[in-house]
Structure 1
Amino acid sequence: MPLFRASGKYAGVKAGPGRRRLRNKEWMGSCRKTDEDGSVFSLTRLCLLSLADNMKEVWVKDYADNYLDHYSFRFIMGPFNVLPGELVEELTLLLCSRKQMSRAALHLLLVPQLRGLSLEKCPGLVNSSLFTHIVARCQGLWSLDLSGAQQLPSKVLSETLGCLPALRSLSLVGTPCDRCVIRTIAHSCRFLRHLDISRCHFLSPAALLSLGGGASFSPSGCPSLSPLPLYSLLALDIDFGEREGDPVAAAAYLLLSLPFLERVAMDGLAQACCLIQEKQFAQTEEFTDREGVPKLLDLWRERKSMDSLRNKSEGAAAAAGEEDEYEEERTLWEGYGSENEEEASRDEGPSCSQAEEKGRGRVLSGDERLILRLKDVKGLSCDSLDSLSHACPNLCSISVNVDDGEDTRGRSQGSVLAAGLQECSGQLQSLTVHYPGPLVDLLTALQVAGSSLVSLTLEGVKTSPHTPLLEVIKACPRLRDLHISAEPPTTPQEEEDQENQREERDLPQLPHLCSLTLNFSYEHSQMKPVMSWMSLKKVLKCLLAGSPLLEKISLVSLPCPLNCVLQDVLSVLDLDQHIFAESTDSPPMPLAQVQRIDMPRTDVEVITVKSIMQRSKRLKNVDVSYCWQISNLEMVDCRMSSKVQVVWL
């Protein structure tokens, strides 16, 4: 069936000498293109880019004109069904990221060898008819992402997932997922290890219990199902109308019934850990009786017995020098999609065995607390952070919500957070804090946990001209990612004080920093932000000049001049390049690795933008939206003189 053929006006026509020279010139030009990491495109990548550029006018046009709404194919014979599944997946992601994916193109790319399908960037294409093709052609899918597909009926979603038993990773963020869908997942997707059902507002916390088994979820007369081998469960912001106490009880049930959980995001998680450690299961009996699941005390005893047997078998296997059967099974379950998480958890900080030995030390000393395997937790409150740290000695990533004010003992929330992080000191690698108060309140907590942090995110914090941002940088010397979303100062700083005029050679540096975000909120009625934090210039120069590995920079609505800071950094770069021009071991230069830089609502000028483009050879994207110092004429000239994609409004 001739689904894919050349257009008639080009078929059988030989290219003349001029045409061949043009093609050779285009090919040589494309070979000089670089990938996201700055390296030259591979031949495979170039071929995929060519496919993406020609799909619409060749294969998609032929299929859409002749077959799309006339026939329904179980399989389509064409160039894509002979490609390896990894290349088809990469081509799919490429089309989605370029906003070139269409219904016809998606039909052509649904091939049997496909193992991963992500439609997060084109949720409008996800409908009931599409699932007919997915079920018919892609029953071997390992990973499926349907985030944002709000128009998808729950019944169709259940029927589809029931036909995809090989799934290891599933994302249903923001979909109409309900209890029936979760029940289908528990019965049919028996190899599932990663599940993200955040923002599914038709789900109640009790609806998740089927993931951990339970008699009431099995068919009538059949034994209950065993728990899913979930490694990651993300379920934040579900069901606005849950009963009081249900989130904590449901989280405790899942923590006890899913023994391999390492990454969890659920409401009531910290309180559930506290409940498990203190064995206060009496308050959950009404919940378990209502939902028809085993009592939490029975689950606790069973889990404790399993952990005891596992510890003995691990010790015996270590003594014999053999691989433990439990670890083999766990490796099998976590083989797909967990490599990055495991690598990150091993990167810095103590090893798992060290942290578990730390936890076992408490148990062996007479404390009968259950040790959980959690490493990455989200949706916490700082009042239960201490209990969580004792229950989960392997923690390396935390996202915590901190309220403004004091606790019941009169302590500030910053002090409570610092006390809670004390137990994780030296091993915590990633910290996210949502706090509507002054950033200075968090300084003590960052000094406690900052020595081992490689990623820090602060959201909603308030600033002033005296906010100790340099002290924050000093407290976290190993950061690779720093993201701060803040309220700008409300009081202006007219001129820098004497301390800000001192020598800058002692400023802290972040030599490993790869991603930097400083995002200040603004009123839409204001075109220009108020320049109220002049000493922030020193912090910016410190970060830009002292972080030579920076790849992504986002500086939004800064309450201080940015253009002069960038000019200073570029002048340092010019001086260093002149000094080390003939040296073979020259140090990394500031801004040399930058691939993307966003500077909306700042005073940056077009001459500075051009200078950055000339010096940063890997730069691909620049955003200077609403920069009042740049005119339309200047931006047209800037775009014509460079291949960098520039956004300006």
Structure 2
Amino acid sequence: MPRRKEVPPLQRLCLENVAGNMSCLWLKDYADKYLDEYHFRYIMGPFSELAGSVVQELLQLMGQSGRLTRPMLHLLLVPHLTQLSLSTCPKLVTKAITDIITVRCKNLSFLDLRGCSRIPADSLVDLAELLPGLLKLNLSGTQCNTAVLSAVGSSCRRLRELDISACARLSGSSLLHLAYDSTAGAFCCPALQVLAASDLEPSASGQDLLWALVFLLLALPSLKSLASSLVTDAVCLVHHQDFRRAQIPLHFPSLEELARRHRAPSFTGEGSAKLTLPLREMLEVSEESLPAICAACPYVARATVFLADRPGKGQSPLLSWHRLAHLTLSCQETRHLGELLPLASTQGSQLQTLSLGGFSLKDPLSFPTLLSHCPNLRELSASFCAPQLPSCHWEAGANGDGGLDLDVGLLPLRKFPRLCDFRLIFSAPDTPWPSLHAAVLSATLLPLLRNSPCLETLELIHMSFPLDGLFQKVLETPSTPLAHLRKLSLAHSQVSAQTAHLLLSSESQLGQLDLQGCPDVTRGDYDQLLRRVRRERLDLLVLWR
């Protein structure tokens, strides 16, 4: 049965009570007497006795509800905070607040100032210089400039993650100061692994930022993720080692010098040293640039690839990514799913997340075959073009179950012990389906839903064959399938209110049921479902229109 309404945890109730009485009780004396008179290094009070994680949760609670004020911030910036996020109250964060942070919060390892655009750049420099123990820093949407990046690079030697996206005062040349201190003649940020530098304004020629990214790729030895729309082009330049057009200031190392420091000891047949990067993530990769990306970044574990109109010739370069665990493939034009079977047979067992878009099921067995190669998936999202064979339409079987009489044992399916999220979406919902495709897909979903004990999110959208029989067979399984299901969407699919009531009677954790656009669910059915939810006090949101 879906979850019943639960009482909030005691800690949450206590924090709600504190948040509701902050103005009239907890900060009244401080706000009346001391707020604008002194800048205290420490404030002895009730919040100094709370664990830092609880203080941060209270900050988030009041920030998200719009109740946080400047005097509240003064009281809650306690010395034992190790994590501080002020992104929920950016308008309150000024130079005065950052001065308090630098004085009181010396133990911070995580600081999130996302969107805090009222902090002057000089104060950000002070933060970086006085908080050298930072491991994660988010400065996106702030007044971060070259001086700030120079301070971060020189002072925050332990920094692992940095976000400087959407900082209008940064240019391509600013990024060089993050990786190299030209005054001291020393490299910076040796531990930086994740850098987000999206939405930065390139120079008029568009080359300034591109060559700066090349510099970062070669100068930061631990960099595993670089978020930028130009990162693919930068990696290709590194692979081809053609730096003749690069314009790097004289007081910085040249790209050729960085390449010599970065080269691996092995050599190619042409005698030039092989240059590889430690990147673990590559997003927005075109199929045309895929060979160069795979050669330069052999350790990639997460990738998003845009496939061209026509299949590539020969073996896919993706086969060289032996650590690939998270893969997104999107087609510009429709491609057959069967093209992915060689890749799935080789690397499918190591895939944890797989997202597919724009493929067609010309061969109805290609989908279950693909699944059989990926038994360790945690997330699967597939958006397919609906199968179209005008000469052969779907016809309901004797039980109206869309062909579930197909022998499931003939399909090459396994158990999916780790699968948590499964999304299957078809386009062209009004097009009749061939009977074979409907039968194979139904017979594929049956064992998948039965043998995925960790499934929490299930979306079956635009299914053009009846699903009632499928869910009836799944839920009558003795092993209690779908016991952990929390979110179910059957939008625009052929399912009736009978299945909805069956799900409400099942052993699950269902908290959201989406029946929008289902032609067999009427307004009366929806009202009846709502009455049952209220009568049984279920914590369930039912969507319908």
Shift of 1:606: 5.3
**1:148 and 1:643 mapped to 2: Cα distance?**
38
1:169-188 to 2 correspondences below 5 Å: 169-175=136-142, 177-188=144-155
Q: 1:573 to 1:645 in 2, by over 3 A?
A: closer
Greater share of residues in helix: 1
Of stretches 472-481 and 268-277 in structure 1, the one that deviates more from structure 2 is 268-277
Shift of 1:378: 2.7
Secondary structure of 2:478 counterpart: helix
Q: 1:259 to 1:124 in 2, by over 3 A?
A: closer
Q: Which residue of 2 aligns with 1:422?
A: 319
Match of 1:470 among 368, 371, 375: 368
Shift of 1:641: 1.7
Q: Is the 8 A contact 1:199 1:235 kept in 2?
A: yes
Q: 1:610 to 1:203 in 2, by over 3 A?
A: farther
Q: Is residue 380 of structure 2 the alignment partner of residue 482 of structure 1?
A: yes
Shift of 1:292: 4.8
Q: 1:270 to 1:505 in 2, by over 3 A?
A: same
Normalised to the residue count of structure 2, the TM-score between the two structures is 0.78
Q: Which residue of 2 aligns with 1:79?
A: 46
Q: Which residue of 2 aligns with 1:453?
A: 351
1:83-102 to 2 correspondences below 5 Å: 83-89=50-56, 92=59, 99=65, 102=68
Shift of 1:213: 0.4
Q: 1:573 to 1:435 in 2, by over 3 A?
A: same
Q: Which residue of 1 aligns with 2:336?
A: 440
Secondary structure of 1:282 counterpart: coil
Q: Which residue of 2 aligns with 1:638?
A: 533
Q: Which residue of 2 aligns with 1:295?
A: 254
**1:145 and 1:233 mapped to 2: Cα distance?**
14
**1:566 and 1:154 mapped to 2: Cα distance?**
61
**1:506 and 1:105 mapped to 2: Cα distance?**
65
Shift of 1:269: 3.3
Shift of 1:494: 4.5
Shift of 1:85: 2.4
Q: Which residue of 2 aligns with 1:235?
A: 197
Q: Which residue of 2 aligns with 1:504?
A: 408
Secondary structure of 2:176 counterpart: helix
Secondary structure of 1:576 counterpart: coil
**1:548 and 1:267 mapped to 2: Cα distance?**
39
1:55-74 to 2 correspondences below 5 Å: 55-59=18-22, 61-63=24-26, 67-68=30-31, 71-72=34-35, 74=40
Q: 1:364 to 1:593 in 2, by over 3 A?
A: farther
Q: Is the 8 A contact 1:554 1:598 kept in 2?
A: yes
* 1:76-112 alpha-carbon deviations (Å, 9 max, x no partner): 433332233244345556677x858634765554321
Q: Which residue of 2 aligns with 1:37?
A: none
Q: Structure 2: which amino acid aligns with 1:52?
A: L
Q: Which residue of 1 aligns with 2:175?
A: 208
Q: Is the 8 A contact 1:613 1:644 kept in 2?
A: no
Match of 1:250 among 195, 212, 215: 212
Shift of 1:118: 3.2
Q: Is residue 419 of structure 2 the alignment partner of residue 514 of structure 1?
A: yes
Q: Which residue of 1 aligns with 2:162?
A: 195
**1:540 and 1:462 mapped to 2: Cα distance?**
18
Shift of 1:297: 1.0
Q: Is the 8 A contact 1:157 1:181 kept in 2?
A: yes
Q: Is the 8 A contact 1:211 1:227 kept in 2?
A: yes
**2:33 and 2:384 mapped to 1: Cα distance?**
55
Match of 1:373 among 257, 261, 278: 278
**1:205 and 1:551 mapped to 2: Cα distance?**
43
Q: Is the 8 A contact 1:270 1:385 kept in 2?
A: no
Q: Is residue 503 of structure 2 the alignment partner of residue 612 of structure 1?
A: yes
* 1:46-99 alpha-carbon deviations (Å, 9 max, x no partner): 442232332233345424655458743644433332233244345556677x85
1:23-62 to 2 correspondences below 5 Å: 46-59=9-22, 61-62=24-25
* 1:501-547 alpha-carbon deviations (Å, 9 max, x no partner): 63223332451343324265989xxxxx6475573545544542332
Shift of 1:370: 2.8
**2:375 and 2:219 mapped to 1: Cα distance?**
39
Q: Is the 8 A contact 1:231 1:263 kept in 2?
A: yes
Structure with bigger RCO (C-alpha 8 Å, 6+ apart): 2
Q: Which residue of 1 aligns with 2:486?
A: 595
Secondary structure of 1:236 counterpart: coil
Normalised to the residue count of structure 1, the TM-score between the two structures is 0.67
Match of 2:108 among 136, 141, 150: 141
Q: Is the 8 A contact 1:465 1:532 kept in 2?
A: no
Of stretches 66-75 and 368-377 in structure 1, the one that deviates more from structure 2 is 66-75
Shift of 1:295: 0.9
Q: Is the 8 A contact 1:604 1:627 kept in 2?
A: no
Q: Structure 2: which amino acid aligns with 1:469?
A: F
Q: Which residue of 2 aligns with 1:18?
A: none
Matched residue count: 514
Shift of 1:551: 2.3
**1:644 and 1:610 mapped to 2: Cα distance?**
15
Identity %: 26
Secondary structure of 1:195 counterpart: strand
Secondary structure of 1:435 counterpart: strand
Q: Which residue of 2 aligns with 1:22?
A: none
Q: Which residue of 2 aligns with 1:272?
A: 234
Shift of 1:419: 2.0
Q: Is the 8 A contact 1:140 1:166 kept in 2?
A: yes
Q: Is the 8 A contact 1:464 1:491 kept in 2?
A: no
Q: Is the 8 A contact 2:99 2:123 kept in 1?
A: no
Q: Which residue of 2 aligns with 1:330?
A: none
Q: 1:51 to 1:76 in 2, by over 3 A?
A: farther
**1:214 and 1:632 mapped to 2: Cα distance?**
67
Q: 1:274 to 1:124 in 2, by over 3 A?
A: closer
